Chain A
Amino acid sequence: ETGVTQTPRHLVMGMTNKKSLKCEQHLGHNAMYWYKQSAKKPLELMFVYSLEERVENNSVPSRFSPECPNSSHLFLHLHTLQPEDSALYLCASSQARGTVQRRKLFFGSGTQLSVL
């Protein structure tokens, strides 16, 4: 148990579907992240929320829509995805305050997404 829980673990969806990924952290952190991990590519940062405010949006297509209702929960809403969006989507959390040098990330187990 890492303290960061992601659901579902696996998701198969068609290109016209709408689905949501959920992340919950029990570590008392106040920054949350979405990363995408595709085969043979480094992890790509998608979104960052710090103190419930979006502080990073890495040119992600609008078919991905994040939501952070409070510091413990993070969602990624998916709509009309493409097959190339198939990947492992990882959620992470960290402290937002304090020294940047000490900011350690804690990851969930990820949602393996397949778009047909």
Chain B
Amino acid sequence: KQEVTQIPAALSVPEGENLVLNCSFTDSAIYNLQWFRQDPGKGLTSLLLIQSSQREQTSGRLNASLDKSSGRSTLYIAASQPGDSATYLCAAGGSNYKLTFGKGTLLTVNP
């Protein structure tokens, strides 16, 4: 059974700092690894999807990497802004529509 762990559970940084969020998964037989953002009381917004054959994906200030063999993914946020404050979730995509989520990292960027 796939298990996804995110570290740290919470992170508070000053504005402008570069930061890294970590995600690990126990079963390397994944189809993709997805990163989402969730604002309080809201649904999830897809940020990046890395296919199993890829090593990384970039969108603006966000860069996500995937190392299937070690069961790890990282989300790098450059030059953080207060608007980046949210919960970031990673999810490992398996067969039969299964997407296994971690508990998330609560990010606070202070002005």
Contacts and interface: CB of A to CB of B under 8 A. Distances in A.
B51 A102 contact: yes
Interface string A72-116: 000000000000000010101000000111111111111010000
- The number of chain A residues touching the other chain, given as a range, is 20 to 34
Interface in B28-47: 31-32, 34, 36, 41-46
B103 interface: yes
A12 interface: no
A68 interface: no
Contacts of A101: 31-32, 51-53, 93
Contacts of A88: 41
B42 A42 contact: no
Contacts of B109: none
Contact of A104 (B49, B97, B98, B103): B49
A48 to B, nearest CB: 4
A21 to B, nearest CB: 13
